[in-house]
Chains A and B, each alone.
Chain A
Amino acid sequence: MKYREKATVLSCEEIGTGIFSLRLGAEQIASSASPGQFVSVYSRDSARLLPRPISVCEADAEHGILRLVFRIAGKGTREFSRCREGDQLDLAGPLGNGFDLSVAQGKRVFVIGGGIGIPPMLGTAKCLAARGQNVTAVLGYRDERFLADEFPCRTVIATEDGSCGTRGNVLDAIREAQLDADVIFACGPTPMLRAIRQYSMDRRILCWLSMEEKMACGIGACLSCVCRSTDIDAHSQVRNKRVCTEGPVFLATEIEL
């Protein structure tokens, strides 16, 4: 079930340079969102028509609280960063499929996040840890870290400038720490996802990747947000899958990158 909900801002905090953590009272969405799903956030400026897709960082069903963590990337996210306690924000969600945590049952899991792809991996890691799973978080940053101390599991870090952890990318960190896993869940920039996809295929590791694309409806109606699939997709009848509906999480082998 998808909801259109007026959320109430509980807090908006800058947790890194230009990176904000927004806690929202959004009972309906929080009660049904799962890790890897996203919400459409609508601007209050009617000149900005299209929703901004933002991943669910954490959803607290019990208290009806949704947490979004985003980076200022343009006018819409700048507007959201100026939210104050008590403000209202229009949302639609939860949208998309999310990570299927049941596939990781009894397996060793890598939760890999790169840059602003880290927020959805926090909720994912917390849910896996709560199920008593063997989880290792691998986080890649350019320089400044955020959210890293909140991961409830073993966490290895890579930074491009070497200021923390391994100098390099997430795969360099995995190699340096000589880690291994049976299942990968990942979100981050396309070059990172491409490298992880290759890594998982070389090692025959089951791997799920969360993809990004520009969206207009966010609910599967407009066909704006497609990515190329390896096989003909049942919905489209061509080799296109909708990131907002069949995704944003895809099996690495079902898409082209």
Chain B
Amino acid sequence: MTHNMSVDICGVKLKNPVMTASGTFGSGAEFSEFFDLNRLGAVVTKGVASVPWAGNPVPRICETPSGMLNAIGLQNPGFEVFAHRDLKFLSETLLPDADPAGSGLEDIAYADAGNAAEAGANAAAGNPANGGIGTKVVVNVCGHSEEEYIDCVEKLAQEPRADLLEINISCPNVREGGIAFGTDPKGVERITAAIRKAARQPVIMKLSPNVTSIAEIARAAEAGGADAVSLINTLTGMKIDVERRTFALANRTGGLSGPAIHPVAVRMVYECAHAVRIPVIGMGGIQTAEDALEMILAGACAVSVGTASFHDQTAVLSVIDGIADYLQRHRVPDIRDLVGCL
């Protein structure tokens, strides 16, 4: 039996619903030594701002039980280098859609479960019988101010390789440029509207879990015109080194990610999926296909795999193959039949 793995996020077709999570995958170059990026639904790049950011002092990370804290502080090389190096790499590496006009999702049937690798390769080769959807690029954007976000989004409008924008209004490690924008519904609606107006590509607002009601924030993003929301960013945490009697991170606090946060993320995806009509992209602690399917059943149209890639460079491929295998085992013809069915 063939089954459909492709999904549609705000009019952009993904060959499968699995992407990388921003900040855990660079722009893909490093991971391309371990696998063919053309197997991914989308590559989500590390947050980029209009100018370079130095980030936080070290130590920037520490391990916690089944997770980690990070306070990278959105170090990034700035838009110019990102566009000329990272987007260039991605356009050279990722194959385009076989049929850019799009033949309609109905014709698409790819990924024979037992043979997902080969199916992936066929799709990558642009074989229309296998969907022929190319891997998409989601550019994650950060900024210190509304103007800085807009500046970056406007520059990205000129970049054909940026298929979707994900706006990080939820980084807990940088006061302005992250969480400051993402915790107040009115602020979220305003900045979403401003970015929506400036953007050429569909806009995904990335939400913080460090709020009383994430559903309320999701509704504010929708009211501001967001094309989709993604969640969750990391949960603010702290670790203390008892022997040295110091904070484990130079920044004192950091964002918790990894399997430890997965149940929290599933609950939040469920709440948001019930609060808004726009697509919800789920992430937070996904390590296996089962973790990803929980998110999908809770209402996520697509998922991102982050911290798991630090433990296993090919974790994201296991998630893709595992989902295909699940569809086969449960005789589900279309992944979209599972979205939010709980």
Contacts and interface: CB of A to CB of B under 8 A. Distances in A.
Interface of A: 1-2, 4, 42, 46-51, 92, 213-227, 235-240, 245
A31 B34 CA distance: 17
A20 to B, nearest CB: 21
Interface residues of B, number: 39
17 contacts: A50-B61, A50-B310, A92-B313, A214-B60, A217-B24, A219-B31, A219-B33, A219-B313, A220-B30, A223-B23, A223-B46, A224-B72, A227-B58, A236-B75, A238-B53, A238-B54, A238-B75
A223 to B, nearest CB: 5
Nearest to B26: A221
B72 A223 contact: yes
A42 B313 CA distance: 12
A226 B53 CA distance: 13
Contacts of B59: 213-214
Interface of B: 23-26, 30-31, 33-34, 46, 52-55, 58-63, 65-68, 70, 72, 75, 77-78, 81, 258-259, 307-314
Given A213-B58, A226-B60, A220 B65 contact: no
Contact of B63 (A49, A213, A236): A49
A2 B34 CA distance: 8
Contacts of B308: 49
Nearest to A43: B311
B275 to A, nearest CB: 31
A2 B68 CA distance: 24
B313 A222 contact: no
A56 B154 CA distance: 47
Given A215-B61, A236-B75, A239-B54, 6 more contacts: A48-B63, A49-B308, A49-B310, A216-B310, A224-B72, A237-B78
Nearest to B309: A217
A215 B63 CA distance: 10
B26 A222 contact: yes
A49 to B, nearest CB: 5
Contact of A49 (B52, B55, B81, B258): B258
Contacts of B68: 49-50, 216
Contacts of A46: 66, 259, 311
Contact of B311 (A49, A215, A235, A238): A49
